[in-house]
Structure 1
Amino acid sequence: MSFSLPVYRAPDFSAPAFARCPNARFVPAPCDGAAPDGYHSTSMYPEYFRIDGRWTLAEESRMDSCVVLRGNGRLDVVELRNLKQGDLVALGRTDDGADGIYLHIGGFADPEAQAEADAFTFRQGRSRETSYTKDYDRLIQLLRHEKEHGNILWVMGPAFSFDAGARAAMQALVEAGYAHGLLAGNALATHDLEGAHLHTALGQDIYTQQSMPGGHYNHLDVINRVRRCGSIPRFIQEYNIQDGIMYSIVKQGVPFVLTGSIRDDGPLPEVIGDAYQGQAAMRSLVKQATTVICLATMLHTIAAGNMTPSFRVLPDGTIRPVYLYTVDADEFVVNKLLDRGSLCATTMVTNVQDFITKLAHGLGVL
């Protein structure tokens, strides 16, 4: 199976309907951290704004944010809390051009495929019964392309830390160049380092599942030792860590962001405890990503999904899709992302430990 990116088809703004559209309205933000009444809220799709008779794309978009017109004509997508008094914020609650704003959903759609689609078909939902063979094949081809031409961002829950095979599979993917960034929480990093240091996760052997005597101390001991070292890389060096996800991430120089939770033990030194600082750090990696794969973490998945647009504008001006995958053993979790409006996501209902192992075998790194 060969892989090629779909061609983006921009709206035909020469059509008569667009000629009648007004210019978009921009008014100053009344104060720091708040938008004017009637502000326009963004989606994950490409959105164009008519300015002085010309349609301009807001290039770095995300859901649930405002659009600010800068002095140089650039449109920036800004979270409400990051608005500054006087920022020129777009107004408009319609997106069909009536307010000078046009939401373009079908930019990457295949017109022939759409024309051939049946109005009624069985099994359109995603469940444990869904056939995912084609999804695996497509993802394998996509990742081979993205390794050289894109940016692959992994969003991972702690389930990988509890299984020796899953840790080995993810390590192999990182070392083979299939990771350009990692988003996770305290637990993924803690239990992965526990697995490397003590061969347990939450005190249970990561291969035999046997609980070790006094094992309930293991993750706390690891956190304490990492904190005493001052950082994860320093801990890896001082304790001669030789395997695992965080080991490979650090050794390969892959950037990572660990964001905290109210329930965290410790946490590890790199964990960002301020939710908004954490969100900003996450978005700094999301902005670079062209494929985002979210695995067994509902809240991180929703957060990353809300930050991830359906498109990316490349340095040469080419517009390409951003691929978003979410994988979980629970149908509720993957459907929750769709309920939040991330309609461009591919969802797979399966055990993520099996998923990552199958993916690594498919890519030939195991």
Structure 2
Amino acid sequence: MTFKLPGYCPPDLTRERFSSAPAALTAEAPGNGTAPSGFHATSNHPEYVCMEPGKWILVRESRMDCVIVRRGDSLEVLEPRRLKQGDRVVLGRTENGEDGIFVHTEGFDTGRSSAPDKFSFRIRGTRETPFSKSYDALYDLLRHDREHGYIVWVLGPAVAFDQDSRRAMQGLIRNGFCHVLLAGNALATHDLEAAMFQTGLGQDIYTQEPVRHGHYHHLDVLNTVRQYGTIKETIREMKISDGIMYTCEKYRVPYILAGSIRDDGPLPEVVADVYKSQDAMRPHAKKATTVVAMATQLHSIAFGNMTPSYRVMENGLVRPVYFYIVDISEFSVDKLANRGSVQATAVVTNVQDFIVNLSRNLDSWQQEGQPS
């Protein structure tokens, strides 16, 4: 079937509540990294700011817990830590136009059905929920966004612990369904461990049986890569020819490895400063049209918080940003929604099964000649 983006329905800004609304007030940031009292904190929904009575502007790239800076006739969303003294920060704590700020939560018809009754069962996804529709929707979405969007994968190390899931992710990257990979030290380390030793944290990636001295393998990997200086050089020198990191390097798919306080090593490419990691990830959050986050609670929430629920395309089209979170734990997927990313679609399942099913469907579609 042909994938079709849902249309965006902007608010009717000719209504009296908008035409009579005041221009949003601003105040100067009192110092670098600090906002004035009464600053407006953004959400990840589309937000409109009244620049002058009757003139409203849609804020681009709105994301959670940021501030809006007015620069002449334009607006910029910034994390408060990035403010410069004197920046004109939009003020206001109301969201329905009273302060010249309107948060629009009903802009997209996502096709999600609403319960016909006030009381009904099973309105949230759990491990008992069938996810056939979610899979089908994601298949169509990835086919569309491979050519017309920007697909971001956020991966935990569990993807590299299994032979088939590792091979499936490699195929998705090779076939253009991944435009950037975001992960931590562990994903890259254990993927390289699998390439060198066929183990993940010392267990065979197929049989899951521990091997002798296997607990040294990831440490040996870290030591080897640090000796060679880069992942790319290690792949070349060690003649590695498979895996997630190998495929990213071969097909020039960028990756960002964000550091953690518990990291071993880490690998040379790991960005140890968390704020530099955030800065490196942010441009990809601004470009994202589809995000698939798997088996990494902290990375999923972090990237979810910096990802808008919509994107204004170059042609002016406003489209939704799709966010899928896949985890075997209901707690993990609920945690993201509880942190504000209410637009996220949860798939509660084993991530290895998920990625293999996804890859098989897309491989079959390609082999059949990519029907529309």
Which TM-score band applies after superposition, normalised by the shorter structure? over 0.9
Moved more, 52-61 or 155-164: 52-61
> How many residue pairs were aligned?
364
The structural deviation recorded for 1:210 is: 2.1
Evaluate the alpha carbon distance shift between residue 170 and residue 22 of structure 1 in structure 2; reply closer, same or farther with a 3 A threshold: same
Residues of 2 paired with 1:81 and 1:112: CA distance? 37
Matched, 1:56 2:57: yes
TM-score (norm 1): 0.97
Match of 2:126, as an amino acid?
Answer: S
Give the distance between the partners of 2:250 and 2:85, measured in 1 at CA: 43
1:237 deviation in Å?
A: 0.8
Q: Distance in 1 between matches of 2:334 and 2:223?
A: 37
Describe how 1:220-259 pairs up with structure 2 within 5 A.
220-259=219-258
1:35-94 CA distances to partner (integer Å, 9 max, x unpaired)? Answer: 0000000001000000022101110211000000113x2111000100000000000000
Q: What SS does structure 1 have at the residue aligned with 2:181?
A: strand
The question of 1:70 aligning with 2:96 is answered no
Change (3 A) 1:169 1:21: same
- Measured in 1, the distance between the counterparts of 2:254 and 2:237 equals 21
Residue 370 of structure 2 corresponds to which residue in structure 1? none
**Aligned position for 1:39:** 39
**Structure 2 partner of 1:268:** 267
Task: Give distance in 2, aligned partners of 1:105 and 1:236.
Answer: 47
How far does the alpha carbon of each residue in 1:183-216 deviate from its partner, in whole angstroms, 9 at most, with x for none? 1000000000110111111121111222221111
The answer to whether structure 1 residue 96 and structure 2 residue 121 are counterparts is no
Q: Write the distance in 1 (CA, Å) between the matches of 2:119 and 2:360.
A: 36
1:112 deviates by 11
Matching residue's letter, 2:120: T
Q: How does 1:256-335 map to 2 (within 5 A)?
A: 256-335=255-334
Alpha-carbon distance in structure 2 between the residues aligned to 1:310 and 1:81: 22
- Cα distance between partner residues in 2 of 1:119 and 1:304: 33
Equivalent-residue separation in structure 1 for 2:75 and 2:171 (angstroms): 40
Q: Is residue 143 of structure 1 aligned with residue 133 of structure 2?
A: no
Amino acid at match of 2:158: A
CA distance in 2, matches of 1:110, 1:288: 20
Of 165-174 and 281-290, the range deviating more from structure 2: 281-290
Conservation of the 8 A alpha-carbon contact between 2:235 and 2:246: yes
Matched residue SS, 2:152: strand
Quote how far apart the aligned CAs of 1:119 are: 2.8
1:59-208 aligned within 5 A: 59-71=60-72, 73-109=73-109, 117-208=116-207
CA root-mean-square deviation: 1.5
Q: Which amino acid aligns with 2:118?
A: A
**1: distance between equivalents of 2:310 and 2:112?**
21
Q: Deviations over 1:103-148 (max 9, x none)?
A: 011111279966x844332211211100100000000000000011
CA distance in 1, matches of 2:320, 2:159: 28
Change (3 A) 1:209 1:48: same
Separation in 2, partners of 1:28, 1:241: 54
| 1:339-350 to 2 correspondences below 5 Å | 339-350=338-349
The secondary structure found in structure 2 opposite 1:153 is: strand
Q: 1:80 to 1:112 in 2, by over 3 A?
A: closer
- Which ranges in structure 1 are unaligned for 5 or more consecutive residues? none
1:145/1:112 CA distance change after superposition, 3 Å:
closer
Distance 1:339 1:67, change over 3 A: same
Report the alpha carbon displacement of residue 357 of structure 1 after superposing the two structures with TM: 0.3
Provide, for residues 215-244 of structure 1, a one-character-per-residue CA deviation record: whole Å limited to 9, x for no partner.
111101111111111111111111111111
The unaligned stretches of length 5 or more in structure 2 are 368-372
Between the aligned partners of 2:176 and 2:111, the Cα distance in structure 1 is 35
What is the rounded CA distance, in whole Å, between the counterparts of 2:330 and 2:240 in structure 1? 36
SS of 1:22's partner is coil
1:322-354 deviation per Cα after TM superposition (whole angstroms, max 9, x unaligned):
000101000000000011111110001100000
2:343 matches 1:354: no
Secondary structure of the equivalent of 1:364? helix
Pairs within 5 Å for 1:24-35: 24-35=24-35
Percent identity among equivalent residues?
54
Residue identity opposite 1:107 in structure 2: G
